[in-house]
């Protein structure tokens, strides 16, 4: 455990404005879509309008006649190999079933061919002239339809029954547990897919003009996985591929897989010119990836005094026609049950359908089951007539314990403090505003707990950092992890400054360029703070060790190091003086610190969310008034960005719960939600007042006591809202989004 004085930080745990804020506020930050190379052509992908079909004809003769036409990439121009687009490191869970271009589309939006032109306008015209004819086939969109005996297998080389992965996790015996329970409740929950809807569209620029070396600019979360996959697809070694991440306008998991990069790379090689592809909004919504839709059948057993003793989940994920992340998402959901039930059975399946392809999304496998679990616990609280917060606290895992089905020990947990902070804020709100119940309008609070990991739960996270020390004692920090808007560059610079004992402005960070920065598995699994942060801390510690060795090599005196001060004989040298002494000495050297962290832990951050909602009986409407979320993230490296993550995660959760859904037209058999009028993410006026709170905590395995926050914040939101709305309306709710059942009122107070 730490000593108290370990927590007196000078840079860490201080709210700091992110380093690149000014560039973004002035419009100077360069995003992928802003990049223009000499000779570059603008390309677009022609996609299948059918959920399942065979292409019977492709005719580009009219397109070729359009002024400005530059070329095309056709299905027979690409290597006939299957790949997995997921930006995870190689693993048996990554099943290969996707083609670069296909003549057998399996979902609306599947890539058929790609065309390019000299200008974006010419490219639009070229797209309009391409003729593709299809023979449509019978498609199925739901898990139930995919599992019917007569459903044609979508990926016969992987599965004959469309179940592409199974995962069982057990502890104890749930049958015995239910038998011994005084109360057993059951529920079946339908949770729809959700699209990330980053405001910046997915984009890439690929320059493979010399047909020898490939340079890619893309809004990628995982540049090293992108390089590895492209290397396999285009057949050149990784050192001939450079992937650069410019400013990224949001990720949320959507960019943890490749989208148009393989197509753009191959077209660039074919044309000998750089190629740019920027998705339009319809492509974003229907042809990238979504969060897995899910069906969760769950049973919860408890004693009459509220000890939960058995939990069973039949959990099925809809992964669309390609597995992408499906098996990993399924497995990630298996061990996030944060209550100490002795009997636990997670029975999970990942199912192929012709629905929109699913992939990585903030909350990775945890969201859907957490929703079912937390709604069930609220029903149990109502049934037992006990306080829903106390019921949860009574059953919660504690430090030294473990999650059901997991052998990892819980190393820190401030869930009770999170609950206390939420309740304090809630009392303050109610004291000011009251709780209305006048026959027409009924207000109520709902609660939910949540957890997540700090890095992939499989512990496959691997990160590294190098730190070059300049002659004046300032530092250049290089990391391969991608800042996608969450603020990791600032947070990692803070860790470096704190460890080196120098001011933040003396740290310059370069992040996410495969040619310059060292390996990192990527920005996913909320791993930046814990995994990359540990690598940065180790690199900075290595700086001091290197410096000490160099000092020893240039003196006969004894060299010691205490509290970041070197003692050479009787002489005292601070960091800066030591650096100068070493670098400019005749036998001196250069100071480069290296740090690597292969994750051997995955500490859980925790959160408590409380929502105040009101139900308007006469018009069957709901309004969300307040959302309080308190998190235990250990030490918040940058409390300002931690708050930002809570607020943003909360807002995304509000959209998920209230309005967002990819509607499939049952006659046309394709997605209807093709623009932001029909796929409705929250506006400012749609949101409750969000109150972000941070509990004091310290994670002994984390850098300066830190755990993660990025995904955690969005996990408890849907169940907290649903529990509030259920209590206000008196109705049990089993599916999302709530706009299917209620009118959703905005939240504007004049």
Q: Which residues are catalytic?
A: 711
Pick from 7, 14, 29, 504: which binds another protein (CB under 8 A)?
A: 29
CB of residue 331 to another protein, shortest distance in Å: 27
429 binds another protein (CB under 8 A): no
Peptide bond into 737 cis (omega under 30): yes
CB of residue 128 to another protein, shortest distance in Å: 13
Pick from 30, 399, 515, 558: which binds another protein (CB under 8 A)?
A: 30
CB of residue 724 to another protein, shortest distance in Å: 18
Residues 603-642, interacting with another protein (CB under 8 A): 640-641
Nearer to another protein, 195 or 395 (CB): 195
39 binds another protein (CB under 8 A): no
Within 8 A by CB and 6+ apart from 556, the residues are none
Q: CA angle, 581 as apex, 579 and 586 as ends, to 5°?
A: 120
651 binds another protein (CB under 8 A): yes
Residue with tokens 């969005």: 714
> How many helices (H) and strands (E) are present in the chain, helices listed first?
17, 30
For the chain, the C-alpha Rg in angstroms (whole number) is: 27
Structure tokens at 296: 């969760």
Pick from 15, 39, 128, 569: which binds another protein (CB under 8 A)?
A: 15
144 binds another protein (CB under 8 A): no
Cα 353 to chain centroid distance, Å, stands at 23
CB of residue 401 to another protein, shortest distance in Å: 33
Task: Fill in the per-residue mask, 463 to 492: x = in contact with another protein (CB under 8 A), - = not in contact.
Answer: ---------------------xxxx-----
Residues 156-215, interacting with another protein (CB under 8 A): 196-201
Nearer to another protein, 353 or 481 (CB): 481
Could you tell me which stretch among 30-38, 103-111, 453-461, 491-499 binds another protein (CB under 8 A)?
30-38
515 binds another protein (CB under 8 A): no
Question: With CB under 8 A, what is the number of residues at the site for another protein?
Answer: 61
Nearer to another protein, 275 or 599 (CB): 275
Question: What is the distance between the terminal CA atoms of the chain, rounded to a whole angstrom?
Answer: 50
Residues 71-110, interacting with another protein (CB under 8 A): none
Structure tokens at 362: 């903030």
24 binds another protein (CB under 8 A): yes
CB of residue 550 to another protein, shortest distance in Å: 39
Name the 3-class secondary structure at 706.
strand
* Residues making up the chain, counted from first to last: 750
668 binds another protein (CB under 8 A): no
693 binds another protein (CB under 8 A): no
CA nearest to 703, candidates 396, 451, 502, 488: 488
CB of residue 737 to another protein, shortest distance in Å: 16
22 binds another protein (CB under 8 A): yes
671 binds another protein (CB under 8 A): no
Pick from 2, 17, 62, 743: which binds another protein (CB under 8 A)?
A: 17
CB of residue 25 to another protein, shortest distance in Å: 5
Q: What is the DSSP string of 632-691?
A: E-BS-SSHHHHHHHHHHHHHHHHHHHHT----EETTTTEE---STTTS-PPPGGGSPEEE
Sign of the dihedral through C-alpha 218, 221, 226, 229: negative
CB of residue 491 to another protein, shortest distance in Å: 13
User: Rounded to whole angstroms, what are the CA distances from 115 to 44, 124, 133, 274?
Assistant: 6, 9, 16, 13
Q: What is the DSSP string of 377-446?
A: HHHHHHHHT--HHHHHHHHB--TT-B-TT--PBP----HHHHHHHHHHHHHHHHHHH---BSSSEEEEEE
Pick from 175, 280, 696, 740: which binds another protein (CB under 8 A)?
A: 280
Could you tell me which stretch among 94-102, 262-270, 298-306, 682-690 binds another protein (CB under 8 A)?
682-690
Nearer to another protein, 25 or 431 (CB): 25
CA nearest to 606, candidates 308, 315, 337: 337
Burial class, 570, CB count within 10 angstroms (exposed 0-12 / middle 13-18 / buried 19+): exposed
Name the 3-class secondary structure at 323.
coil
Burial class, 619, CB count within 10 angstroms (exposed 0-12 / middle 13-18 / buried 19+): exposed
CA nearest to 370, candidates 430, 436, 449: 449
Pick from 11, 33, 332, 726: which binds another protein (CB under 8 A)?
A: 33
Q: Which residues bind another protein (CB under 8 A)?
A: 15, 17-18, 20-31, 33-34, 120-121, 196-201, 247-250, 252, 278, 280-281, 484-487, 640-641, 643-644, 647-652, 675-677, 681, 683-685, 687, 690, 692, 747-750
């Amino acid at each position: 455990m730490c000593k108290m004085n370990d927590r007196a930080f000078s840079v860490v745990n201080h709210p700091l404005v992110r380093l690149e804020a000014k560039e973004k506020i002035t419009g100077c930050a360069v995003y992928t879509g802003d990049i223009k190379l000499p000779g570059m052509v603008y390309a677009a992908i022609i996609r299948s309008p059918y959920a399942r079909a065979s292409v019977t004809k492709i005719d580009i003769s009219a397109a070729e006649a359009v002024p400005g036409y530059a070329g095309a990439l056709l299905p027979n121009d690409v290597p006939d190999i299957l790949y997995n687009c997921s930006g995870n490191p190689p693993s048996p869970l990554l099943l290969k079933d996707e083609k670069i271009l296909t003549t057998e589309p399996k979902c609306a939006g599947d890539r058929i061919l790609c065309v390019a032109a000299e200008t974006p306008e010419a490219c639009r015209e070229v797209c309009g002239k391409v003729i593709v004819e299809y023979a449509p086939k019978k498609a199925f969109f739901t898990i139930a339809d995919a599992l019917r005996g007569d459903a044609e297998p979508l990926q016969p080389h992987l599965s004959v029954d469309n179940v592409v992965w199974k995962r069982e996790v057990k502890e104890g015996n749930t049958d015995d547990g239910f038998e011994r329970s005084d109360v057993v409740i059951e529920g079946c929950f339908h949770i729809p897919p959700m699209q990330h809807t980053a405001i910046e569209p997915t984009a890439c620029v690929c320059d493979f003009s010399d047909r020898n070396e490939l340079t890619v600019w893309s809004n990628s979360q995982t540049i090293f996985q992108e390089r590895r996959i492209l290397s396999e697809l285009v057949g050149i070694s990784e050192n001939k591929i450079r992937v650069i991440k410019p400013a990224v306008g949001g990720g949320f998991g959507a960019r943890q897989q490749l989208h148009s990069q393989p197509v753009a790379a191959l077209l660039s090689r074919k044309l000998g010119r750089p190629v740019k592809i920027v998705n339009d909004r319809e492509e974003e919504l229907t042809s990238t990836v979504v969060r897995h839709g899910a069906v969760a059948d769950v049973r919860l057993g408890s004693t009459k005094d509220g000890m939960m003793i058995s939990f069973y989940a039949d959990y099925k994920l809809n992964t669309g026609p390609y597995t992408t992340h499906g098996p990993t998402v399924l497995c990630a959901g298996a061990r996030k049950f944060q209550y100490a039930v002795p009997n636990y059975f997670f029975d999970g399946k990942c199912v192929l359908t012709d629905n929109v392809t699913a992939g990585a999304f903030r909350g990775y496998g945890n969201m859907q089951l957490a929703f079912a679990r937390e709604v069930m616990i609220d029903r149990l609280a109502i049934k037992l007539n006990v306080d829903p917060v106390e019921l949860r606290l009574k059953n919660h895992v504690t430090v030294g314990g473990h999650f059901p089905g997991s052998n990892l020990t819980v190393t820190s947990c401030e869930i009770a403090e999170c609950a206390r902070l939420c309740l304090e804020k809630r009392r303050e709100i109610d004291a000011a505003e009251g709780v209305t119940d006048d026959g027409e309008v009924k207000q109520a609070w709902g609660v939910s707990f949540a957890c997540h990991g700090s890095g992939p739960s499989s512990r496959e996270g691997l990160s590294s950092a190098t730190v070059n020390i300049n002659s004046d004692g300032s530092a250049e920090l290089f990391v391969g992890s991608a800042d996608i808007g969450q603020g990791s560059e600032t947070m990692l610079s803070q860790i470096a400054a704190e460890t080196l004992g120098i001011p933040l402005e003396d740290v310059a960070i370069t992040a996410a360029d495969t040619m310059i920065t060292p390996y990192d598995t990527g920005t996913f699994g909320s791993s930046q703070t814990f995994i990359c942060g540990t690598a940065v801390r180790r690199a900075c510690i290595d700086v001091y060790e290197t410096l000490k060795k160099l000092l020893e090599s240039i003196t006969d005196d004894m060299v010691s190091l205490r509290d970041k001060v070197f003692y050479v004989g009787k002489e005292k040298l601070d960091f800066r003086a030591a650096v100068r002494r070493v670098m400019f000495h005749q036998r001196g050297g250069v100071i480069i610190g290296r740090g690597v962290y292969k994750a051997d832990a995955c500490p859980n951050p925790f959160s408590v969310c409380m929502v105040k909602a009101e139900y308007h009986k006469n018009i069957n409407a709901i309004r969300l008034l307040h959302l309080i979320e308190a998190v235990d993230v250990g030490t918040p490296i940058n409390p300002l960005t931690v708050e930002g993550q809570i607020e943003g995660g909360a807002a995304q959760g509000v959209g998920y719960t209230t309005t967002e859904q990819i509607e499939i037209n049952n006659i046309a058999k394709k997605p209807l939600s093709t623009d932001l009028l029909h796929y409705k993410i929250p506006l400012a006026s749609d949101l409750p007042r969000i109150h972000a709170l941070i509990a004091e905590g310290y994670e002994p395995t984390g850098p300066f006591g830190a755990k993660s926050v990025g995904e955690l914040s969005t996990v408890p939101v849907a169940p907290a809202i649903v529990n509030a709305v259920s209590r206000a309306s008196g109705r049990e709710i089993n599916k999302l989004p709530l706009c299917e059942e209620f009118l959703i009122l905005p939240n504007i107070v004049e």
